[in-house]
């Protein structure tokens, strides 16, 4: 039995699929096939063995529930998976499968394949938020509004400047994530002690072939050097926080006494089971819920950094679910806020009314120049 009700609100269907059992198994199989092909290409195993492995491995024949049961017992996905694949392939080819590799090679490579894919999906939604905010920012670059600091009316600013800040914050966080994924979502192949022993001295070449085949960056093994995965995780945490900042602002501006902006009306969203008249900022809720959870998840990831010697005990096993949760939360946040940003209802009358009520004039200083500088930075 799945747990859609627990996980679903935080992510798009596509993003959920990135981390589900089918994807995990498919990537694990792809790793073993690509490894065999790479080893054949480098002369470590005979080409016909690689062909037999390639032909014999079939993810569809693996029962996720049974595999999960055994993986939980074994403490690693790779042992029961490799056992199945060897049985599936049979004979000498079966024995050649997973040659020179270790469990963590499979687990880490699978996770990084998922990270790449998750990043690709996430960027689309997050970019939609940025673009929509930039568009609104430009449209309201001259609109005078009352600025609020410490939740009190302060001095005027351009309403668009507020949105430009949100756009730039998300854009900068996205740039950090792009950099982290490009640099650190790389393949893992080290073998039992991270030395690539057991591959006839051709481990470096095999690793290069494997990385290229899987579409991941090449890398020295990193079994116990987890700065890269941490870099991806913290960038997700910052992105979720930046998205949360926009959600916080919309939810505050949508308050009944203020009414300057609010989420668009979406069929099936924002209702109340007790109050038919109510329009809840449900998209903001999703994003703020994600922002409440993300800092702790990042802490979990960082907490495992001091891995023990060549492969840690507990630390790295914690990373997979945490990184997946961060992507799922970022995905949910970006997807709902894309809709919110694109359809954001801005009430010019309320803005003008609130500004007038503040009684501090309408000098918005150099709002326009700052707004332009913020948006220009997005194109970098």
Q: Within positions 301 to 340, which residues make up the interface with its own copies, using CB under 8 A?
A: 301-315, 317-318, 320-322, 324, 332
Rg of the Cα trace of the chain? 25
Whole-number Cα distances in Å, 227 to 65, 231, 296, 302, 315: 32, 6, 18, 9, 12
Q: Answer yes or no whether residue 135 interacts with its own copies by CB under 8 A.
A: no
Q: Which of 44, 56, 76, 330 binds its own copies (CB under 8 A)?
A: 76
Q: Which of 55, 91, 296, 356 binds its own copies (CB under 8 A)?
A: 296
**Has 331 been annotated as catalytic?**
no
Cα–Cα distance between 301 and 312 in angstroms, integer? 13
Q: Answer yes or no whether residue 279 interacts with its own copies by CB under 8 A.
A: yes
Q: Which of 33, 210, 216, 286 binds its own copies (CB under 8 A)?
A: 286
Q: Answer yes or no whether residue 6 interacts with its own copies by CB under 8 A.
A: yes
Largest CA distance in the chain: 84
Residue 69 tokens, joined: 């049961």
Least separation in angstroms between residue 139's CB and its own copies is: 18
User: Which residues between 196 and 225 bind its own copies (CB under 8 A)?
Assistant: 196-199, 201, 203-204, 220-225
Task: Write down the catalytic residue from 138, 269, 311, 353.
Answer: 311
Residue with tokens 């308050």: 255
Q: Which of 56, 59, 160, 191 binds its own copies (CB under 8 A)?
A: 191
Task: Write down the catalytic residue from 2, 61, 225, 272.
Answer: 272
Going by their DSSP bridges, the two strands 144-149 and 152-158 should be labelled as antiparallel
**Has 311 been annotated as catalytic?**
yes
Q: Answer yes or no whether residue 94 interacts with its own copies by CB under 8 A.
A: no
Contact present, 259 and 350 (Cβ < 8 Å): yes
Alpha carbons within 13 A on the beta-carbon side of 257: 5
Cα 97 to its chain centre, rounded Å, is 31
Q: Which of 255, 265, 348, 356 binds its own copies (CB under 8 A)?
A: 255
Comparing CB distances to its own copies, the nearer of 77 and 132 is: 77
Cα–Cα distance between 229 and 300 in angstroms, integer? 12
Name the one range near its own copies by CB under 8 A: 52-60, 115-123, 145-153, 209-217: 145-153
Name the one range near its own copies by CB under 8 A: 37-45, 47-55, 123-131, 252-260: 252-260
Cα 43 to its chain centre, rounded Å, is 37
Comparing CB distances to its own copies, the nearer of 49 and 335 is: 335
**Which stretch of DSSP H or E encloses residue 345?**
strand 345-346
Q: Answer yes or no whether residue 84 interacts with its own copies by CB under 8 A.
A: no
* Per-residue binder mask for its own copies (CB under 8 A), 24-63, x = binder: xx--------------------------------------
Q: How many residues bind its own copies (CB under 8 A)?
A: 172
Residue 346 tokens, joined: 């801005």
Q: Answer yes or no whether residue 188 interacts with its own copies by CB under 8 A.
A: no
Contact present, 20 and 195 (Cβ < 8 Å): no
Residue 79 tokens, joined: 């042992």
């Amino acid at each position: 039995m799945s747990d859609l009700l627990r996980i679903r609100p935080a992510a798009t269907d596509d993003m959920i699929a990135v981390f589900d059992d089918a994807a995990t198994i498919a990537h694990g199989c792809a790793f073993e096939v690509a490894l065999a092909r790479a080893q054949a290409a480098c002369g470590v195993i005979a080409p016909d063995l690689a062909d037999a492995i390639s032909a014999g491995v079939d993810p569809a024949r693996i029962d996720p529930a049974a595999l999960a049961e055994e993986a939980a017992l074994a403490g690693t996905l790779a042992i029961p998976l490799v056992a199945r694949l060897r049985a599936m392939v049979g004979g000498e080819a079966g024995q050649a499968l997973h040659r020179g590799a270790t469990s963590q090679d499979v687990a880490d490579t699978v996770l990084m394949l998922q990270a790449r894919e998750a990043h690709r999906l996430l960027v689309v939604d997050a970019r939609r938020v940025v673009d929509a905010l930039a568009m609104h920012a430009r449209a309201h670059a001259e609109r005078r509004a009352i600025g609020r600091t410490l939740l009190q009316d302060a001095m005027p600013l351009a309403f668009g400047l507020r949105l430009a800040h949100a756009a730039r914050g998300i854009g900068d966080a996205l740039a950090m994530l792009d950099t982290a994924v490009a640099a650190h979502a790389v393949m893992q192949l080290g073998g039992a002690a991270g030395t690539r022993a057991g591959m006839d001295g051709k481990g470096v070449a095999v690793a290069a072939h494997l990385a290229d085949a899987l579409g991941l960056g090449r890398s020295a093994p990193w079994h116990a050097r987890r700065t890269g995965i941490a870099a991806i995780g913290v960038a997700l945490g910052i992105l979720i926080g930046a998205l949360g900042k926009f959600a916080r602002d919309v939810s505050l501006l949508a308050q009944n006494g203020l009414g300057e902006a609010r989420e668009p009306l979406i069929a099936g969203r924002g209702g109340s089971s007790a109050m038919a008249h109510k329009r809840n900022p449900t998209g903001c809720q999703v994003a703020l819920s994600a922002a409440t959870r993300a800092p702790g998840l990042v802490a979990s990831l960082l907490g495992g950094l001091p891995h023990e010697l060549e492969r840690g005990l507990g630390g790295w096993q914690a990373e997979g679910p945490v990184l997946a949760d961060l992507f799922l939360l970022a995905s949910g946040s970006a997807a709902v806020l894309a809709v919110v940003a694109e359809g954001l209802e801005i009430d010019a009358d309320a803005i003008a009314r609130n500004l007038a009520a503040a009684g501090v004039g309408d000098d918005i200083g150099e709002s326009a120049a700052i707004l332009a500088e913020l948006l220009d930075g997005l194109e970098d």
